[in-house]
């Protein structure tokens, strides 16, 4: 069986949870796990982030070769400060990225990610 070389992931630049401008190419040489989610997500996002944190722990020293990045699909609420609190709760090496709604939509489209805002109640706010 002949395996073809993988395609290069589309590059992008967003703001990380410390306020720095970060590009995908900054992590050249590492395995990057991109996750699209948001901090107000009630179930799937925290469960997935916990599973990724568990995987990082199982990797031990090899975890240094992996970078988990969560790209927020809710930039209106996910400020860098909110992302910092959220992603580092799961693992200190995780990065949270945000940008303008247009930047997030363009990057999500590049990666085939669909999301949409769903209005909730006044008490719950909206879901994505």
Q: Is the dihedral of CA 57, 61, 66, 67 positive or negative?
A: positive
Tell me the CATH architecture of domain 13-110: 3-Layer(aba) Sandwich (3.40)
Q: Is the dihedral of CA 111, 73, 99, 66 positive or negative?
A: negative
Domain ranges of the chain: 13-110
Average of per-residue pLDDT across 16-38: 96
How many CA atoms, within 13 angstroms, populate the side-chain half-sphere of residue 11?
7
Q: Determine the pLDDT at residue 128.
A: 75
pLDDT bucket at 2, cuts 50 / 70 / 90: low
Q: With 0.85 as the threshold, say if the pTM is over it.
A: yes
CB 36 within 8 A of CB 44: no
pLDDT bucket at 80, cuts 50 / 70 / 90: very high
Q: What percent of the chain has pLDDT over 90?
A: 80
Instruction: Please indicate whether residue 31 or residue 124 has the higher confidence score (pLDDT).
Output: 31
pLDDT bucket at 3, cuts 50 / 70 / 90: low
Q: What is the DSSP string of 47-91?
A: HHHHHHHHHHHHHGGGGGGEEEEEEES-TTT--HHHHHHHHHHH-
């Amino acid at each position: 069986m002949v395996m073809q070389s993988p395609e290069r992931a589309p590059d992008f630049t967003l703001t990380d949870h410390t306020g720095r401008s970060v590009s995908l190419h900054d992590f050249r040489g590492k395995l990057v796990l991109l996750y699209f989610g948001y901090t107000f997500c009630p179930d799937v996002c925290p469960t997935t982030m916990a599973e990724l944190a568990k995987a990082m722990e199982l990797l031990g020293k090899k975890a240094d070769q992996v970078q988990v990045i969560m790209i927020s699909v809710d930039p209106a609420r996910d400020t860098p400060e909110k992302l910092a609190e959220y992603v580092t709760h799961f693992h200190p090496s995780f990065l949270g990225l945000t940008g303008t709604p247009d930047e997030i939509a363009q990057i999500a489209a590049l990666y085939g990610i669909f999301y949409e805002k769903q209005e909730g109640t006044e008490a719950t706010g909206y879901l994505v």
